[in-house]
Structure 1
């Protein structure tokens, strides 16, 4: 059911449109000195950011989502991606993003308009469709170019290889090794170099804090809404099923307003709401049995999906109530976003968070998403894939891998030892008895622990200044896009600061000379 919902949302985002390259779109090589009669400052942040992104390279991949050759031309990749970057940079809402673009010529230049206009370039609802069109693969490739993991030629050759893939299967083995830099599948000639920092974090979803009683109350209300729809359509034989909704509402309100909720009162409230919900589901099942071919036509797609989630939630809560436990596999914590799972992090302020778990790498201060999952996973199992991805991109293994203690399992230690990679942390076995060597090891561990903290600081910036700390998207796909956009915007800002620092040092040396 969720797959059908994602497919329907994707079709709605495309809207039967065609994609046409706009010859009048602003090129990054155009001089912004005169933007539609308005002189722009070439040192402005948005003018420089527009030159950092090779828009034309990723336009080919973006155009693949519009197979139709007819219809109204869709907005360009620069409009879609640029508006999302602006939203992340200032943490605007969709409405505020469109409004500020209409007021700011620099933002209009950034999204690729030919000249300044006082009208909004798109309706705010298009922001959701832009997120549906932008896939994680496109954003990952844009991020790889920004952080220097790939070059423009790498992305362009990848697109050409994909177009010419038919009939060239005999050369498939040439791309299995270090493909990003064209190193082939040979052993790396270069010595290990570079530092790879690995860690994982949770990106909290903007949902209400879930409790069993509140979820059951919401499910009961939704079930009553479905019964009302079926009764209005005449599928209940003129007699509306009794739901006891007033009594159920009063009982839950009395529980929710109590200041001290004991285990006994919580269990009593759960029993009451389970009984009411069971009665509602039985009434719906009776309609389904009597009208097997008509009831699905009455309910909307949203209501059908919600009914499936309610059934699953009822089954989970009933089993937990009967077994007196608070744990169950694939536990639902949100009816509107059933793919969200509780992620146990063990932090002091938030021991459990609700959202996607993301494994990231840090290379020279730039973040990259290595693994994203809505289910909890052991990040220690992703180390070898991240290291192999590093080798594929740069043609050699990293000299050091700095990671948390959860990454230091026997398989990873053996893997790093076989490839000559230093993995931070104490060595296995008894510590050496030599006090000098022991002191050096402790100092090295202390220094590497501080260096590993760089990725934690990057996480803090992404959560405090961007959307990584509270993902407000309502769909699974758009939530993943927002996570990628937060990382991409963070790296863009760092790349811009490095560029400005380079010019500052360069001109300062000229003045000294």
Structure 2
């Protein structure tokens, strides 16, 4: 059951503190709370709950606010709850009306928050939040400009620069190997055999032998070696396949003897299905002497993860979700995400059309890397008057003009901004290692990372505007700025009129 609370929209001055005083309106958490449109998407979140049955659920602002705090601070679930309990600004951010020394919820509730909040809902909030800022910025520009420039601006059909790129969000798994994966699968079959045999009411035969000590010894004999040749690794994989095949036959024998799969837990039953698929894939790879197969499983606990071939210098293959993103005016948005590998060049048309639906006009130029510059994408952009970055197709000319070189250099500099966003998400936030285990909660965690990155950008720009206004109103800094501008103009004139 979901109950909408009116008190969560109170201003910071009305937040009750036991020790007196008021919350500062210029605090970063108060500013970010005013940026996020909580109430606009609360009805969509409330649809997943019953109107009359069940215990009252936590509010949408509390659920999403806790996830934003966790991502912003880079803390664990338990540490996030402790930070909220100790900080009144964080309590105001999640919608509480008064300070409380008690934790607002159990740390395990963050798992349920990630399950309830869909990735699409987070993306909608991200777009709506940035759209409001861009609209207010455009209104200020229209007021400051003259009518002539306003008319010329309205005549332009294409405006802005759109930057597209793709990357991977690696999951928190160990580097998978065929031998290690088979060893883990063998251990799981041994656990299932023990569970099924103990569930038998009448034990008409002895417990099946699994040779687990010998199997572990065979695995360690190869896994501990620093260098293993091809034949040794292949022989070790064959042994592990034989152990798994024997264990699977024992499991079938126990089922035929009266042991029911109902005695297995949901986790064990799912693991049995995953192990059988891993055995099928590894057996096919071994018999056909191949190194790749469709829908390859690289983790028993997270079978939805796929290997993503990226060809980077640090790691050629990453294991996680691949996504394509768009960036304009310093804001980044998540457009397409999938656990399977895909060609990001097919997303260019969809991303450009999404930009038009979002802003009302096509971009002036699209800045992409080489994989996006297909003949189809070039022709499609040319029909709409969009310039795509990069050199034209065909043999490069012998003499390249300085303007062409400068334009190519400027395009690469502009495209570096989205690479910086990916670096910020992977080094500062959790995009470099997604700790969520379930597929839908992992996608929600990735979407929240993009939301927090845009929040950080908005907060930084607001702080820069405050500094500029402070410097302009202070007489000392205003005089210093004027002297600097005069000196820069003098240097430019001196450079221009200096004979060659």
Question: Fold conserved (TM > 0.5)?
Answer: yes
Aligned residue for 2:71, secondary structure, equals: helix
Q: Does 1:452 align with 2:415?
A: yes
- The match for 1:418 is 383
Give the drift of 1:429. 2.5
Aligned in 2, Cα 1:150/1:410: closer, same or farther, shift over 3 Å? farther
Q: Secondary structure of the residue that 1:31 maps to in structure 2?
A: helix
Change (3 A) 1:443 1:227: same
Give the CA deviation at 1:392. Answer: 1.1
The corresponding residue for 1:461 is: 424
Determine which of 242, 245, 260 is the counterpart of 1:278.
245
Instruction: Work out the number of aligned pairs and report it.
Output: 457
- C-alpha distance in structure 2 between counterparts of 1:384 and 1:474, whole Å: 32
Distance in 1 (alpha carbons) for counterparts of 2:348 and 2:132: 18
Alignment of 1:372-451 (within 5 A): 372-432=337-397, 435=399, 438-451=401-414
Look up the match of 1:368: 333
Shift of 1:344: 0.7
Match in the other structure for 1:312: 277
**CA separation of 1:151/1:421 partners in 2, compared to 1, >3 Å: closer, same or farther?**
closer
RMSD: 2.0
Structure 2 partner of 1:10: none
Could you say which residue in structure 2 is the equivalent of 1:330? Answer: 295
Residues 33, 217 of structure 1: alpha-carbon distance in 2 compared, 3 angstrom cutoff:
closer
Map residues 222-371 of structure 1 onto 2, 5 A cutoff: 222-234=188-200, 237-291=204-258, 295-371=260-336
Check if 1:118 corresponds to 2:81.
no
Contact 1:192 1:397 in 2 (8 A): yes
Moved more, 238-247 or 312-321: 238-247
Counterpart Cα distance in 1 of 2:255 and 2:355: 54
Counterpart CA distance in 1 for 2:217 and 2:12 is 66
Q: Do the aligned residues in 2 keep the contact of 1:201 with 1:359 (CA within 8 Å)?
A: yes
Aligned-partner Cα distance in 1 for 2:75–2:271: 30
Change (3 A) 1:486 1:41: same
Q: Given the alignment, which residue of 41, 48, 53 partners 2:24?
A: 41
User: What's the CA shift for 1:256?
Assistant: 1.6
Helix, strand or coil at the partner of 1:281: helix
Give 1:164-243 correspondences, 5 Å limit: 191-234=157-200, 237-243=204-210
Using structure 2 for the length normalisation, give the TM-score.
0.88
List alignment gaps of at least 5 residues for structure 2.
136-153, 479-500
- Using the TM superposition, give the Cα deviation of residue 342 of structure 1 relative to its aligned residue in structure 2, in angstroms: 0.4
Give the match's secondary structure for 2:401: helix
Q: Give, in angstroms, the shift of residue 493 of structure 1.
A: 0.7
Structure 2 CA distance, aligned partners of 1:38 and 1:254?
67
**Cα shift at 1:30:** 4.7
